[in-house]
């Protein structure tokens, strides 16, 4: 579902970055049992310190930061970045921190519109317009839209330098 975000005109990615993005999607809800006030920090700590194979330190930090931003959002994280250290930012690098913010915002938006249920998000494609990021809802799912959904997708659009547009499929 996130593939269209990282195709032109969106941020470009290498095959290695694509692999990490897909892995981040798989671990994005690792802290679902934690109290909502602590999910960001808990997911960050669990993933950043996990003994994962087939991934280097910067890749693991990217996964951790993506999960962190998925739970706390990007605006709160920039206000209260104390939960992840300058050392983690340094390991990941500024470009990967930015990619983690975009992906975290996408996952944050996807979880709220899909209610965490499998299959629903696959029916809601993302696409780019001229200056917009578009989410297309099938008619049966129009009731899922609302202020919270629009705010989350507007935040994602802003991270990509675009305005958000909600479309209803014919």
Out of 2-6, 16-20, 86-90, which region has the weakest mean confidence (pLDDT)? Answer: 86-90
Out of 4-18, 49-63, 73-87, which region has the weakest mean confidence (pLDDT)? Answer: 73-87
Where helices occur in 28-146 by DSSP H, the ranges are: 39-48, 57-72, 74-79, 86-92, 94-114
> CB neighbours of 110 closer than 8 A, spacing ≥ 6?
1, 2, 121
Structure token digits, residue 126: 């993302």
Q: What is this structure's pTM?
A: 0.90
Q: What are the two backbone dihedrals, phi and then psi, of residue 167, each rounded to the nearest 5 degrees? A: -115, 150
Q: Who wins on pLDDT, 144 or 27?
A: 27
- Read off the pLDDT of residues 138-166 as tens digits, 9 standing for 90 and up: 998 888 888 999 999 999 999 999 999 99
Give CA–CA dist 113/110, Å, rounded. 5
Check residue 77 and give its pLDDT: 52
Give CA–CA dist 64/101, Å, rounded. 11
Give CA–CA dist 55/83, Å, rounded. 23
Closest CA to 21 of 8, 12, 32, 33: 12
Kindly state the helix (H) or strand (E) to which residue 147 belongs, with its residue range: helix 147-159
């Amino acid at each position: 579902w996130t593939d269209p975000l990282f195709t032109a005109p969106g941020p470009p990615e290498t095959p290695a970055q694509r692999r990490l993005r897909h892995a981040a999607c798989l671990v994005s809800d690792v802290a679902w049992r934690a109290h909502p006030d602590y999910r960001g920090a808990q997911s960050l700590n669990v993933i950043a310190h996990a003994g994962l194979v087939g991934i280097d330190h910067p890749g693991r930090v990217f996964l951790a930061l993506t999960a962190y931003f998925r739970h706390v959002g990007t605006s709160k994280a920039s206000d209260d970045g104390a939960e992840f250290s300058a050392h983690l930012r340094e390991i990941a690098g500024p470009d990967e921190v930015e990619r983690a913010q975009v992906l975290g915002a996408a996952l944050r938006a996807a979880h709220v519109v899909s209610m965490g249920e499998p299959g629903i998000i696959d029916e809601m494609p993302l696409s780019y317009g001229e200056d917009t990021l578009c989410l297309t809802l099938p008619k049966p799912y129009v009731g899922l839209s609302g202020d919270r959904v629009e705010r989350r997708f507007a935040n994602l659009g802003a991270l990509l330098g675009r305005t958000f547009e909600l479309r209803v499929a014919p």
